[in-house]
Structure formats: structure tokens, C-alpha cells
A and B are shown apart, each in its own frame.
Chain A
Amino acid sequence: MKKSLFIKAVLLLSCLFAPGTLLANGTAVVSTEHATVTLLSEQVNAAPDQTLWLALRFELIPHWHIYWRNPGASGSAPVIRWTLPQGWEIGEIHWPVPKRIQVGPLTNYGYEEDVTLLVPVELPPGALLAGPQTIIADAEWLVCRVECIPEDGRLTLELNNTDSDPIMATETRELFSAARARWPEAKTLMGHYRLAGDTLAISVAMSDTLSSAPADVWFAASEWGPVDASGVQQWQRTGTAVTLTVPLGDVPPAADIPLQGLLVVESEHEGTPVRSGYQVQLAAQPLATGNLSLMTALLFAFLGGLILNIMPCVLPVLSIKILGFVREAGANQQRLTFHGLAYASGVLASFTVLATVLLMLRAGGASLGWGFQLQSPLLVTLLTYLMLLVGLNLSGVFSVGGRLMAAGQSLTASSGLVNTFATGVLAAIVASPCTAPFMGAALGFAITRPGWQALAVFLTLGAGFALPVLLLSLFPAWLKFIPRPGHWMKTFQQVLAFPMFATAAWLLWVLSQQTDARSYAGVLAGLVAVAFAAWLYGQWKPGNWRLGLLGAGLAAALALAIGPMLAPDAPAHSRAALRDDRPWSEELVQELNAAGRPVFVNFTAAWCITCKVNEQLALSTDNTRQLFETRSVAYLVADWTRRDPAISQQLERYGRSGVPLYLLYSPTTGQPLVLPQLLTEGIVAEAIHAL
């Protein structure tokens, strides 16, 4: 059979080199075993300064297909090389909306039955040369069912021929309008995309374009690379937009390069499937982190540090302190300078420690799977709450750390160089009722940045904070310029709340682009809850109750925003029905395998979020459970929550440094199939059916 196919292909190739039949009435035809290809012109006569439309029409034998401009996982788009009269300029092929053609696990984009590719030609303004105008198209196309045959042909067409058939011309024009009807819609839709792990999150604005409920919506990139054509796409309508999750291809789009492609909407109209396409232009989602440059951040941090000095809870303390060491040093300028330097180094040391603690927390969090990117709606939500709290604190709705301040005051009351250093170390902390807001802002920025930038921000904040005292120690005469503490400080602090509210507003704007209206409403409700909790905390007098209350309020707010996603779909006990209670071991796998049962091993851990997601979305679903039952697949769990050398070794064997790992052992070969780290029901089902 294979051999006969080969012979067929060879025979075919030889007959392909026969020139196409030349017809006088504006068409030329080449026939191969799989395709009848016709070259047509919309106009029988070409005129100067005209846009002339040419068409290459493919009529294919049943079940065979040719390809769209981006053929998808395999295949190759038709190529046409034109030879035209001088001065004629050929445009680009206008591709009709393709369909998805499944070849095993691979997806291609192409056309079955027939397809007409239209190409515009611009004619020069000057008069055409006398006589017939010859157009030659050398076409190469790959035609496939499962196997593929490359074919080619030369088609020659003559225009401005005297004896053309007007009836044929009408038929031709009908073919052209039918071809245009299969083009994507004229209007290009705008949207944006962002990288989310191994997928692209795409959102396209489609206010009125999507009338009835579509059966399916999918995206095809114009070129190979950014999207894996074979992967499973998910889509949903969110108000005026369509959002899709599309698997990333071999070449992820570089940051801020727009992505072009086709959005195909499949629906049913009176029982017949209708496929319409929309050209889409996707801008890279503005990365919110890019909006504030490092230099700007450092400038703000420095100013913030300066401003810290005149906060109501800092200025009085510092005035006393400075007066203290001025007194101690007396006329000894050198000693005074030492005091200044000791204080400054103390401040910087303290800020370095804070930054280090932050970075360590972040590293810990990242290893637990927290995404510290503004692309993460959860983090943006938390930062919005933080900014609101900071603003409310500045407004005077509540205050924190009153006791610390009292302790600080007693400490700073003593003297000596070491003490001055200690004052510096503790300055930021002892004055926490006022420094906290600035710390919060700096933290909010720094948490989204690389480590060294976070450190730079904190150190600059510290430098700004230390500078005035250092200057005063160098030039004690300037003490007279220090403003007196007074009520103005309170007003100033309250004014500072507004930049914080503005930041919260900006974060909400970022969030609005990442979520739909309902989740957004959840976050807004959370903001109200946070504000209420802060107010309660500020009102409640008996000391320790207040923290508890604030905690409860915050927890309520967080629960509103993130609670639903922690609630599993299915009750936990239903999982037990699926799982083999015996713990995983290589011997058990072999034993079950020997008994003729396929074995599915889930290498998981309680702290692995990916594992939990996979379990929820792909493994503990009704479909999968049923499939496992009907195929009598043994489901073993290898729990790596605590390190287990046997499991580690197995992971290593499959080139993994950690969980998840999914292995499906076939009873016939005893060899495992390694499933991807991100499972869907489909992937699991396909793997089991392939056993």
C-alpha cells in the first residue's frame, strides 16, 4: 500500500510538469490527482490605473486539504510566483477564513473541498501595450489527507483577448463574490494579550460583533511561532469582550510586540454551521510595572525619606535628639560630626535589614508559588488594599505602634555615640506611626522588582531620612531653620493620604484590565471592608482587641476576593473513590501492571499549587473518575509533601526537579507515558484511550 502510494506520487509529479490548459475566456486550469486548480481574472479586459483581481481556485478531492497562510502544526501554505506584464504590481493573497483540521493530536489550519485565493494587482496609469496581456502563475501547494503530496503547476492566462465569452465572465464574477464572502470581516478588532506562564491570555473587544451564542471561538496567529496550534484553547465572553487562554508556541512573543491573527467564531445558524473570522490586532498588555522607572522610584524614595523627618511623630523626637547631641558635643565640631555619621549609618543599617527581610519573605513566597508580578490580579488586589490602609492611616482614621514610639522616646533620651547609632537603627521603627505609610509604599513598589532594585529603593529612602540630621550635625547653625513642631504637621500628614488613594485608584485601573466586572465588584467590596476594619481598629479602645478586629476585618475582605477559588469543586471525600489507598511504590506499580491494569501515578505534594489545580481540574472530575473506572486504571498517589528519597529518585529519572509528575503505565509494554505538567481532562482521556 505504501509502495503504491509512492508510485502514485511519482507518476503524479511527472504529469504535473505538463503546462496548464490555456482557455481563451479568462481562465486557465491545471488538474492533478488531488486538485483542480484554476486561475481566473475578475475582469476580462485589463485597463490602465485599475485594481485587477486575480484568483487561484483549488477544487480538492474529498478529505484532502491545503493550508492557510499559517499552516498550524505541520503542512505548508500554497506559494504563487507571478509573471506579469511590466509595471503590474501584485498584492498579497487575501486568505479566506480557514477551518481547523485535526490530524491525530496535531491541528492544522486549512481548507477542504474548495477554496479561492484572491490577489489584487495594481495596473500602472499609462496605456497598456497593445495585444493580449499574459499572466503566468507558478503555484506550489502541499495537499494532504494524513499523508502529504507536494504538487505544483504553471497557469497562464491571457487578458484583453478579443474573443471572450461574456456568459463565462458572469460565472467568474459570481465565484469572486463567493470568495469574498469567505474573507474575514472587514473591520479589524483590537485587543491585548499578556503572557501567563505557558499560555497567552488574550482579550478582544467585541461589543456588537458577537450576536448569537457562538459554539466555539478560537484564535490563530498569522505566523508560526507565538501560538501552539495543537493545544487546547479556552474562551469565554466577558461583557463586551471575548477572552481566550491560548497555549504558547515555540517562540513566545517578545515583550511589547503586537500580535496579529484571526479570531474565528463558529456558530450554528438554522442547523448549519457558520464560521466567521475577524482580523485581530493584539497589543502587548501594558506591563504596569514599567510605568514607574527605577530613577523615578529612587527620586520619590529620597523625597519620601526627607518628608519622614517632618512627620508629627518624628520631628519632635529628632529635635530633642539633635539638641541632645549638640549639647553633648558642645563646641566640639568633630564629635558632633561623628554623632551625625553614627546616626546616618544606624538609619541605613536599619533600612538594609528591612529590605533583606522583605526579599527573604519574597523568596520564600515565590517558592511557595506566590507570583510577585503585577500581572497577578491577586497581588494587585492585595497592593490596592495596602495602599488604602496606608492612606487611611495618614488621614488619621487609625494609627499603629503607639507603644513603640514611647519606647523609642525613652531610648533616644540617653546619649553617647553608640546610642546615637542605636537611635539611627531604631529611628525608622520607633517612629513607626509615621514611617509605616512610607514603608508600605516602598514595599509595594519593591515587591514587584528585582532584589537589587528593591534594596536600592529602601537605601534611598533611608538616605533621605538620615540626610537632614547629618546636615545639621555638620552645620549646627542651621538648627534655627528647623520648623517648630505644631498643628501644621497633622494637616500635612493628612494631605499626604491623597497620593496613596491615587495609587490605589491606579492599581484598581490595572486590575480592571485583568478581571471581569463581577470579580472587580468583589474587590471593590473588599475595599469597603478594609476601610471599615481600619475605622473599627481606630475606634476600639481596649488595646489587644483592636489587632484581632483588624485581622478579622482584613480576613473578611480577603475572603471576599480570594475565597471562592479555594473552595474545591467537588467534596473532598469523593476523591477517595478514585484513589488507590496504598502508597506509591515501584513494586506496586509492577504488581498492578502485571495484573493487566494500567497504572496512573500522581506525584504530588500538599504545597504544590499546580498539583492541586491539576487534581481539581483534570483528575478528580466526574469524567476522569468514570474513565478510570471503566478502563480499570489504578490511581496511585506518590506524596512528596515531605521529601521522600524513593520519589525524588523517580522524579530525577524523568528529568524533574520537583512535582508534579504524571506517569501512565501501559500494561502491555509496562513503560510509562509522561504526561504534561499541566493536565486537562482531555489530555488524561487521550492518554488513556491511546493505551
Chain B
Amino acid sequence: MLKQFFQTTFIMLALYSCGSGAALRIGEPAPYFEGVDSSGKVQRLADYRGKIVVLEWTNHDCPFVRKHYGAGNMQDQQRQAATQGVVWLSVISSAPGKQGHVSPAEADELTRNRNAQPHAVILDSGGKIGRSYNAKTTPHMYIIDAAGKLVYMGGIDSITSSNPDDISRATQYVHVALQEMAAGKPVSTAVTKPYGCSVKY
């Protein structure tokens, strides 16, 4: 017991020493990642230094994802982001054999069929990027600013339902954050509850 106490103390001291621990924190550098997209190209966070990057965890069979794609909400936001010069990366962390896992061709087909406009779709079937970002749900959204710092993490909007009728009544957090960033203002709501299906690691 005594040993455990000292270990706890030690860990506390350790935590003071090296700043952040495992958890992601707003205002800190977003975890570095690199992953292969549906066209076979390697996407690196470092490639987009100087640009705002949006990460969208997705799984096309998840009802919560379908809520936002079915109503066109996700595509609208992707399109708007693109016009603002924001790099929107959809990430699929479903493991092979699990729901939402797709081949590169299937991913491209989904993008076409749904008329989606992501900059790229990263296939993270090993779940490496998902785990390093602690992505829990689909959708789970992150915004990284031009300096590579995390400025938003959480849900796509404020009403945690799978009903598309709720979209118009909800606050679209990512949209609001991007508008605020475009206006040079700090992101007012930086952390929200992500909601949806679990990421199928």
C-alpha cells in the first residue's frame, strides 16, 4: 500500500514534469499522423501546416453518420469548408471485417454516391490515427488550426439523436468554429460531447 502511495505520488510528479499526458487537449499540438487515402496517396498532417484541417471519423453504415449524410448536412459542410480553403479529411478507422470498413474503390464510390466533398478519405483500418486521436464515435470531429494546434474536438452538432429532423434545430459546432476561425476569433465552443456509434476498431 505504501508502495502504491509513492507510485501515485511519483506519477503525479511525473505529470507535472512533462506537461500533457495521454489525453488530447485544446490548444496543444494535434497528434502527428500519416495515413493512406483512397487514391493511394499518403496524407500527412505536416503537409497541411498553414491550413486549417478538419478530421471527420466516419462509418457509412452507422445510423448517426447516415443521419448527417442522408440529409446532406455533412456534404454541405465539406463543400463550404473547401471554399474556405479548409482541408477536410474523412477518416475510416473500422477494422477489416467490421462495420464501415471499405476498400479504396468502395470509399470512392461512397464519396461519389453521396456527393460528398472531402479533400481525401483516409483508410485507417489499423485504427492507428483513431487511437492517437482518441476517436470514439462516428461522427467524431476535430479541427486543427494552421499552426497545427487542436482547436475543436467533439460532436458534429448539439442534438445527440439519429433523427435527421433535429439537424436544423441543432447548433452545428464545426460550422460555427470554422466561421469563427475565418473571422479571426477564438473558437467559442471547443469541446463537446461526441455522439454516435462507437468506432469499430
- Interface residues of A, Cβ cutoff 8 Å to B: 2, 5-6, 9, 73-76, 79, 103-106, 108, 140, 142, 144, 146-150, 196-199, 201, 224-225, 228, 230-231, 236, 238, 245, 247-251, 366, 368-371, 373, 375-378, 515-516, 518-519, 522, 562, 564-565, 608-610, 612-613, 617, 653-656, 658-660, 666, 669, 671, 673-674, 676-678, 690
Contact = CB atoms under 8 A, between A and B. Distances in A.
B16 A376 contact: yes
Nearest to A375: B12
B172 to A, nearest CB: 19
A230 B15 contact: no
B137 interface: yes
Contacts, number: 203
18 contacts: A74-B136, A105-B201, A106-B199, A140-B161, A147-B61, A150-B162, A196-B12, A198-B22, A236-B1, A368-B17, A371-B12, A519-B6, A562-B6, A564-B6, A613-B7, A660-B18, A673-B126, A674-B31
B83 interface: no
A565 B198 contact: no
Contacts of B126: 666, 669, 673, 690
B99 A2 contact: yes
B63 interface: yes
Given A369-B18, A518-B1, A146 B153 contact: no
A376 B200 contact: no
B198 A377 contact: no
A103 B198 contact: yes
B113 interface: no
Contacts of A9: 63
B195 interface: yes
A516 B16 contact: no
B31 A613 contact: no
B32 A674 contact: yes
A609 B15 CA distance: 8
A149 B197 CA distance: 9
Given A613-B14, A669-B126, A247 B6 contact: no
Contacts of A678: 11, 14-15, 21-22
Contacts of A655: 29-32, 45, 148
A76 B161 contact: yes
Interface stretch (B72-80, B84-92, B127-135): B127-135
A522 B2 CA distance: 10
Contacts of B1: 236, 238, 516, 518
Contact of A376 (B9, B21, B197): B9
B181 interface: no
Residue of B21, B195, B199 contacting most chain A CB atoms (<10 Å): B21
Contacts of A236: 1, 4
Contacts of A230: 136
B23 A228 contact: yes
Contacts of A613: 7, 10-11, 14
B3 interface: yes
A74 B198 contact: yes
Contacts of B161: 76, 79, 140, 150
B160 interface: yes
B98 interface: yes
Interface in B183-201: 191, 193-201
A562 B23 CA distance: 29
Contact of A149 (B23, B45, B63, B148): B63
Given A376-B13, A676-B22, A5 B61 contact: yes
Contacts of B194: 74
B197 A148 contact: yes
A231 B23 CA distance: 10
Contacts of A609: 10, 13-14, 17-18
A406 to B, nearest CB: 41
A6 B63 CA distance: 9
Contacts of A671: 34, 128
B2 A519 contact: yes
Contacts of A75: 197-198
B52 to A, nearest CB: 17
B198 A198 contact: no
Q: Please provide the 9 A-B residue pairs with the shortest distance between their CB atoms, ordered closest to farther.
A: A197-B15, A369-B17, A565-B6, A676-B22, A198-B21, A371-B16, A104-B201, A74-B198, A150-B162
Contacts of A198: 15, 20-23
Interface string B96-112: 00110000000000000
Contacts of A516: 1-2, 5
A613 B197 CA distance: 35
B196 A608 contact: no
B8 interface: yes
A104 B198 contact: yes
Contact of B18 (A149, A251, A677): A677
Contact of B198 (A106, A658, A660): A106
Nearest to A659: B18
Interface in B49-95: 61-64, 95
B118 interface: no
Given A103-B198, A198-B20, A2 B32 contact: no
A76 B20 contact: no
Nearest to B45: A655
Contacts of A519: 2, 5-6
Nearest to A679: B22
A677 to B, nearest CB: 5
A370 B16 contact: yes
A609 B10 CA distance: 8
Contacts of B95: 104
Contacts of B196: 74, 148
B22 A144 contact: no
B193 A146 contact: no
A148 B2 contact: no
Contact of A617 (B7, B9, B13, B15): B7
B9 A73 contact: no
Given A376-B13, A516-B5, A146 B18 contact: no
Contacts of B9: 376-378, 565
A515 B11 CA distance: 14
A677 B16 contact: no
Given A106-B136, A677-B21, 17 more contacts: A5-B99, A75-B198, A104-B199, A142-B162, A146-B98, A148-B198, A198-B20, A245-B8, A366-B16, A376-B12, A516-B2, A516-B5, A562-B6, A612-B14, A613-B10, A656-B29, A660-B18
B62 A690 contact: no
Contact of B131 (A105, A231, A522, A658): A105
B13 A676 contact: no
A245 B15 CA distance: 13
A313 B13 CA distance: 40
Nearest to B12: A196
Residue of A144, A609, A653 contacting most chain B CB atoms (<10 Å): A609
Contact of A197 (B21, B61, B64, B153): B21
Nearest to A371: B16
Nearest to A3: B61
B135 to A, nearest CB: 10
B198 A146 contact: yes
A689 B172 CA distance: 38
Contact of B15 (A105, A515, A610): A610
Contacts of A612: 14
Contacts of B127: 104-105, 690
B121 to A, nearest CB: 17
Contacts of B64: 148
B13 A144 contact: no
B13 A378 contact: yes
A444 B200 CA distance: 52
